[in-house]
Copies of this chain bind each other. A is one copy, B any other.
C-alpha cells in the first residue's frame, strides 16, 4: 500500500479508522455473507467499510493509470524451463483472469527471438525494394499520411498449446493457451504501400524483416499481402507497445504469429519464397512418414474454456455457475461453440456474446446449475466455413507424434467436487 498511501492527505487518520473498525466490521460482515438476503431495517451494512471515510488519491497520482494492487497476480507469466534464456523467450496472456474479447495491451503475450528492440520512432525507417518499379523508404510520419483502417484481430503463436501434444503438461489455460491476444489495430493496408512502389509482374512473394537483433524474417505470398495485411502502428488506440513491435509491425490476419513481423524495417518483393530459418528448421512439423508440414500459415479453428480452469477454480460451491471461454479461427468468424460437462457425452450450445468479427477472438458463455459432482469440461468451436475443432487424438492420428505447432485440439479441464480444477486428457 506504500505507493498509494503517499497520495493520501492524512494517513494517520486513515490508519486510525482502519484500526478502529476492524473488529466490529469483520463480525458484522461474517453474518451477512453467509446468507445473501437481508431484512429491511438491518443496520446499514454499507457503513462498516472505511474507504468512504477518507479522501482517496487525486488525479495527479497516475498520469498513466495502472491496475489495482488487488490485481497484481493478473500479469504475463513465463515458464522457466521452456527456453534457455529470457532474452529469447515467451510469456503468456493471463486468459483465466480476463473477459470479453479485448486483451489489454499490458498483458498481451510476448514472443521474441532477440529481446525487445528499443526503436526510436524518429530514426526508424521502413524500406520497400526488390521487384518494384521504385524502391521507397518511409518514415513513421510518411506512413501516417496513407488512409488508415481499424480491425480487431487475434494474434496466435503457431506454438500455442504446443506442449500439450504429448498430453496434459501445464496446469492453467494461461500456459496451455496463453500465446494468443486480440487487440484493435490501426494501420495502413500493405497494398497501399506496395501500389506506391509498383510491384512488378513477377513479384509473387514478399519478405518481411524486423529491426530486432534476431532480424526476424518470413516469406509471405503476394495474394495474402494484397488481401488484408496491415502495416500497423496502434493497438487498442495507443502506440504499439515495445514488446509488440513499436513503432510499427506487420499484421497478417488469421495467420501464425511469427509472420506478424515486429519492428518492421524491410519489405522485399521477390518471385519465390526465401526459405528463411523460421520457415524451415523452425515452424515446421515432422510427420510420421518423414516429410514435414511447412508453410502452415492459417491458424485453425480453436477454443478453450478460460473459467473454470486450473487457475480459476470454482470457489462458490453448488448452484449457478458461469462457464466462459474464447473461440477463434483464421478462416473468419465463429459460427458456434458447444460445451460439454461430461467429457463429450452431451454437448450444449454456448452463447456467443459481444461483436462477432472476422479473425477475432469470440467470447462464449454457458450457464448451468452445478450439482457439485465432478465435471469434465470441454469446448468445441465451429467456424464460418464449417470447420469443427478436432480432438487431440484426431490430430495425432493425422500428423503423428513429432509435432509442436498448430495444436488446435479440444482441451479438457477436470473439475473436482471441491471445485479444484486440473488439466487432464481423456480419450
Contacts and interface: CB of A to CB of B under 8 A. Distances in A.
Given A68-B239, A102-B237, A75 B63 contact: yes
A116 B237 contact: no
Contacts of A52: 114, 117, 211-213, 215, 265
A104 interface: yes
A167 interface: no
A226 interface: no
Given A71-B238, A89-B59, A124-B49, A106 B64 contact: yes
A426 interface: no
B54 A213 contact: yes
Interface stretch (A34-42, A277-285, A286-294, A296-304): A34-42
A386 interface: no
A391 interface: no
A211 B114 contact: no
A33 interface: yes
B102 A236 contact: yes
B64 A67 contact: yes
A86 B106 contact: no
Total copies of the chain = 2
A90 interface: yes
A9 interface: yes
Contacts of A62: 243
Contacts of A237: 98-104
B56 A117 contact: yes
A36 B138 contact: yes
Contacts of A349: none
Interface stretch (A313-321, A335-343, A374-382, A395-403): A313-321
Nearest to A109: B59
A112 B142 CA distance: 40
B55 A87 contact: yes
Given A49-B211, A51-B118, A142 B63 contact: no
B86 A59 contact: yes
A162 B88 CA distance: 51
Contacts of A78: 59-60
Contacts of A159: none
Contacts of A353: 148-150
Interface residues of A, number: 130
Contacts of A99: 148, 150, 186, 234, 237
A250 B39 CA distance: 24
A187 B309 CA distance: 20
A407 interface: no
A145 B66 contact: no
Interface stretch (A127-135, A253-261, A409-417): A127-135
Nearest to A62: B243
Given A66-B241, A120-B70, A137-B38, A55 B115 contact: yes
B68 A125 contact: no
Contact of A68 (B71, B242, B365): B242
A145 to B, nearest CB: 4
A218 interface: no
Given A33-B139, A70-B121, A141-B315, 15 more contacts: A25-B123, A33-B125, A49-B265, A51-B120, A51-B211, A52-B117, A52-B213, A56-B116, A57-B87, A59-B110, A65-B108, A74-B239, A102-B237, A146-B320, A147-B367
Interface of A: 1, 4, 7, 9, 25, 29, 32-33, 36-40, 42, 45-46, 49, 51-68, 70-71, 74-78, 85-91, 97-108, 110, 112, 114-121, 123-125, 127, 129, 134-139, 141-142, 144-152, 183-186, 209, 211-213, 215, 234, 236-239, 241-243, 246-247, 263, 265-266, 315-316, 319-322, 324, 351, 353-355, 357, 363, 365, 367
10 contacts: A49-B119, A51-B212, A52-B213, A56-B116, A64-B107, A68-B242, A100-B236, A101-B150, A103-B237, A148-B353
User: Nearest 6 A-B pairs (CB), nearest first?
Assistant: A56-B115, A58-B86, A150-B354, A63-B75, A56-B116, A99-B186
